[in-house]
Structure 1
Protein backbone atom coordinates (compact mmCIF):
# COMPACT_ATOMS: atom_id res chain seq x y z
CA UNK A 1 0.00 0.00 0.00
CA UNK A 2 1.37 3.43 -0.91
CA UNK A 3 2.24 5.86 1.86
CA UNK A 4 0.19 8.99 2.28
CA UNK A 5 1.71 12.16 0.92
CA UNK A 6 4.03 13.81 3.42
CA UNK A 7 2.02 17.00 3.27
CA UNK A 8 -1.21 15.35 4.36
CA UNK A 9 -0.08 13.01 7.13
CA UNK A 10 1.36 14.05 10.49
CA UNK A 11 3.27 10.80 10.96
CA UNK A 12 5.07 11.14 7.63
CA UNK A 13 5.76 14.81 8.24
CA UNK A 14 7.47 14.17 11.58
CA UNK A 15 9.37 11.18 10.20
CA UNK A 16 11.87 13.68 8.80
CA UNK A 17 14.50 14.40 11.52
CA UNK A 18 14.99 18.03 10.49
CA UNK A 19 11.27 18.66 10.89
CA UNK A 20 11.38 17.20 14.37
CA UNK A 21 14.31 19.53 15.10
CA UNK A 22 12.20 22.47 13.92
CA UNK A 23 9.30 21.40 16.14
CA UNK A 24 11.65 21.10 19.10
CA UNK A 25 12.84 24.68 18.60
CA UNK A 26 9.31 25.97 18.10
CA UNK A 27 8.32 24.39 21.40
CA UNK A 28 10.14 27.19 23.19
CA UNK A 29 9.10 30.25 21.20
CA UNK A 30 8.24 31.66 17.79
CA UNK A 31 11.04 31.95 15.24
CA UNK A 32 11.52 33.72 11.90
CA UNK A 33 12.59 31.31 9.16
CA UNK A 34 16.04 32.89 8.77
CA UNK A 35 16.84 32.35 12.45
CA UNK A 36 15.51 28.79 12.36
CA UNK A 37 17.62 28.00 9.31
CA UNK A 38 20.73 29.46 10.92
CA UNK A 39 20.14 27.64 14.21
CA UNK A 40 19.70 24.30 12.43
CA UNK A 41 22.52 24.82 9.92
CA UNK A 42 20.33 24.62 6.82
CA UNK A 43 19.54 26.94 3.97
CA UNK A 44 16.58 29.30 4.25
CA UNK A 45 14.79 27.67 1.27
CA UNK A 46 15.17 24.23 2.87
CA UNK A 47 13.82 25.52 6.20
CA UNK A 48 10.92 27.15 4.37
CA UNK A 49 10.11 23.89 2.63
CA UNK A 50 10.04 22.01 5.93
CA UNK A 51 7.91 24.73 7.53
CA UNK A 52 5.46 24.54 4.63
CA UNK A 53 5.03 20.79 5.17
CA UNK A 54 4.58 21.28 8.91
CA UNK A 55 2.03 24.05 8.29
CA UNK A 56 0.06 21.89 5.87
CA UNK A 57 -0.34 19.09 8.44
CA UNK A 58 -1.33 21.56 11.16
CA UNK A 59 1.79 21.47 13.32
CA UNK A 60 2.99 25.02 12.69
CA UNK A 61 1.19 28.36 12.63
CA UNK A 62 2.41 31.61 11.12
CA UNK A 63 1.99 35.11 12.50
CA UNK A 64 2.84 38.36 10.75
CA UNK A 65 4.98 40.70 12.84
CA UNK A 66 5.88 43.74 10.82
CA UNK A 67 7.93 42.54 7.87
CA UNK A 68 8.63 39.18 9.49
CA UNK A 69 6.65 35.99 9.53
CA UNK A 70 7.02 34.23 12.85
CA UNK A 71 6.52 30.47 13.02
CA UNK A 72 5.20 28.81 16.14
CA UNK A 73 4.23 25.34 17.25
CA UNK A 74 0.59 24.28 17.05
CA UNK A 75 0.75 21.14 19.19
CA UNK A 76 -2.91 20.30 18.55
CA UNK A 77 -1.73 18.70 15.31
CA UNK A 78 0.23 16.17 17.35
CA UNK A 79 -2.94 14.71 18.87
CA UNK A 80 -3.05 11.70 16.48
CA UNK A 81 0.57 10.90 17.36
CA UNK A 82 -0.12 11.30 21.08
CA UNK A 83 -3.15 9.02 20.88
CA UNK A 84 -1.26 6.38 18.91
CA UNK A 85 1.75 6.43 21.24
CA UNK A 86 -0.59 6.42 24.24
CA UNK A 87 -1.70 2.97 23.15
CA UNK A 88 1.74 1.72 24.15
CA UNK A 89 1.65 3.26 27.62
CA UNK A 90 0.61 -0.02 29.27
CA UNK A 91 3.54 -1.81 27.63
CA UNK A 92 6.03 0.79 28.89
CA UNK A 93 4.54 0.91 32.37
CA UNK A 94 4.74 -2.87 32.66
CA UNK A 95 8.32 -2.83 31.34
CA UNK A 96 9.36 -0.19 33.86
CA UNK A 97 7.60 -2.07 36.66
CA UNK A 98 9.54 -5.25 35.74
CA UNK A 99 12.79 -3.27 35.61
CA UNK A 100 12.08 -1.71 39.00
CA UNK A 101 11.34 -5.13 40.47
CA UNK A 102 14.58 -6.50 39.02
CA UNK A 103 16.62 -3.61 40.45
CA UNK A 104 15.01 -4.07 43.87
CA UNK A 105 15.85 -7.80 43.76
CA UNK A 106 19.48 -6.98 42.90
CA UNK A 107 19.70 -4.50 45.77
CA UNK A 108 18.29 -7.05 48.18
CA UNK A 109 20.74 -9.74 46.99
CA UNK A 110 23.65 -7.32 47.37
CA UNK A 111 22.56 -6.40 50.91
CA UNK A 112 22.26 -10.08 51.86
CA UNK A 113 25.74 -10.80 50.48
CA UNK A 114 27.23 -7.94 52.50
CA UNK A 115 25.91 -9.38 55.77
Structure 2
Protein backbone atom coordinates (compact mmCIF):
# COMPACT_ATOMS: atom_id res chain seq x y z
CA UNK A 1 0.00 0.00 0.00
CA UNK A 2 1.20 3.45 -0.90
CA UNK A 3 1.76 6.02 1.83
CA UNK A 4 0.00 9.37 1.71
CA UNK A 5 3.19 11.32 1.15
CA UNK A 6 4.23 8.99 -1.71
CA UNK A 7 0.85 9.48 -3.39
CA UNK A 8 1.19 13.24 -3.03
CA UNK A 9 4.68 13.19 -4.56
CA UNK A 10 3.47 11.08 -7.49
CA UNK A 11 0.47 13.32 -8.13
CA UNK A 12 2.70 16.39 -8.05
CA UNK A 13 5.03 14.83 -10.62
CA UNK A 14 2.06 13.83 -12.78
CA UNK A 15 0.64 17.35 -12.62
CA UNK A 16 3.99 18.79 -13.65
CA UNK A 17 4.46 16.31 -16.52
CA UNK A 18 0.96 16.62 -17.96
CA UNK A 19 0.38 20.31 -17.60
CA UNK A 20 -1.85 19.77 -14.60
CA UNK A 21 -5.32 19.03 -15.98
CA UNK A 22 -8.34 19.62 -13.74
CA UNK A 23 -8.74 15.98 -12.68
CA UNK A 24 -5.10 15.73 -11.65
CA UNK A 25 -5.28 18.98 -9.71
CA UNK A 26 -8.41 17.86 -7.87
CA UNK A 27 -6.78 14.56 -6.94
CA UNK A 28 -3.67 16.46 -5.83
CA UNK A 29 -5.74 18.77 -3.65
CA UNK A 30 -7.69 15.88 -2.14
CA UNK A 31 -4.53 13.93 -1.28
CA UNK A 32 -2.89 17.05 0.18
CA UNK A 33 -5.95 17.67 2.36
CA UNK A 34 -6.00 14.09 3.61
CA UNK A 35 -2.27 14.21 4.32
CA UNK A 36 -2.66 17.50 6.22
CA UNK A 37 -5.58 16.15 8.23
CA UNK A 38 -3.62 13.00 9.10
CA UNK A 39 -0.67 15.12 10.23
CA UNK A 40 -2.93 17.29 12.37
CA UNK A 41 -4.51 14.25 14.03
CA UNK A 42 -1.09 12.68 14.55
CA UNK A 43 0.24 15.86 16.17
CA UNK A 44 -2.73 15.79 18.57
CA UNK A 45 -2.23 12.11 19.33
CA UNK A 46 -5.53 11.15 17.73
CA UNK A 47 -4.36 8.91 14.90
CA UNK A 48 -4.99 5.55 16.55
CA UNK A 49 -8.13 3.40 16.81
CA UNK A 50 -8.88 4.64 20.35
CA UNK A 51 -9.18 8.26 19.21
CA UNK A 52 -12.92 8.05 18.46
CA UNK A 53 -13.64 6.53 21.87
CA UNK A 54 -11.45 9.15 23.54
CA UNK A 55 -13.31 11.98 21.80
CA UNK A 56 -16.68 10.48 22.74
CA UNK A 57 -15.58 10.26 26.38
CA UNK A 58 -14.33 13.85 26.30
CA UNK A 59 -17.69 15.00 24.94
CA UNK A 60 -19.50 13.12 27.71
CA UNK A 61 -17.23 14.69 30.34
CA UNK A 62 -17.74 18.14 28.89
CA UNK A 63 -21.49 17.65 28.82
CA UNK A 64 -21.49 16.45 32.44
CA UNK A 65 -19.33 19.42 33.47
CA UNK A 66 -21.73 21.86 31.80
CA UNK A 67 -24.72 20.24 33.50
CA UNK A 68 -23.00 20.29 36.90
CA UNK A 69 -21.98 23.92 36.44
CA UNK A 70 -25.55 24.87 35.54
CA UNK A 71 -26.98 22.94 38.48
CA UNK A 72 -24.50 24.58 40.86
CA UNK A 73 -25.42 28.02 39.52
CA UNK A 74 -29.12 27.35 39.93
CA UNK A 75 -28.55 26.04 43.47
CA UNK A 76 -26.54 29.13 44.38
CA UNK A 77 -29.24 31.43 43.07
CA UNK A 78 -31.86 29.43 44.98
CA UNK A 79 -29.90 29.79 48.24
CA UNK A 80 -29.39 33.50 47.67
CA UNK A 81 -33.12 34.01 47.11
CA UNK A 82 -33.94 32.01 50.24
CA UNK A 83 -31.47 34.03 52.31
CA UNK A 84 -32.93 37.28 50.97
CA UNK A 85 -36.44 36.12 51.86
CA UNK A 86 -35.36 35.12 55.38
CA UNK A 87 -33.74 38.53 55.86
CA UNK A 88 -36.90 40.20 54.59
CA UNK A 89 -39.09 38.23 57.03
CA UNK A 90 -36.71 39.01 59.92
CA UNK A 91 -36.74 42.69 58.92
CA UNK A 92 -40.54 42.77 58.87
CA UNK A 93 -40.65 41.00 62.25
CA UNK A 94 -38.26 43.53 63.77
CA UNK A 95 -40.16 46.43 62.20
CA UNK A 96 -43.42 45.33 63.79
CA UNK A 97 -41.83 44.44 67.11
CA UNK A 98 -42.41 40.72 66.84
CA UNK A 99 -38.90 39.92 68.01
CA UNK A 100 -39.92 39.48 71.66
CA UNK A 101 -42.56 36.81 71.03
CA UNK A 102 -41.70 33.48 72.60
CA UNK A 103 -43.08 30.22 71.41
CA UNK A 104 -44.81 27.88 73.92
TM-score bucket (shorter structure): 0.3 to 0.5
Which of 1 and 2 has higher RCO (CA within 8 Å, sep 6+)? 1
Larger strand proportion, structure 1 or 2?
Answer: 1
Calculate the TM-score normalised by the size of structure 2.
Answer: 0.35
Calculate the TM-score normalised by the size of structure 1.
Answer: 0.33
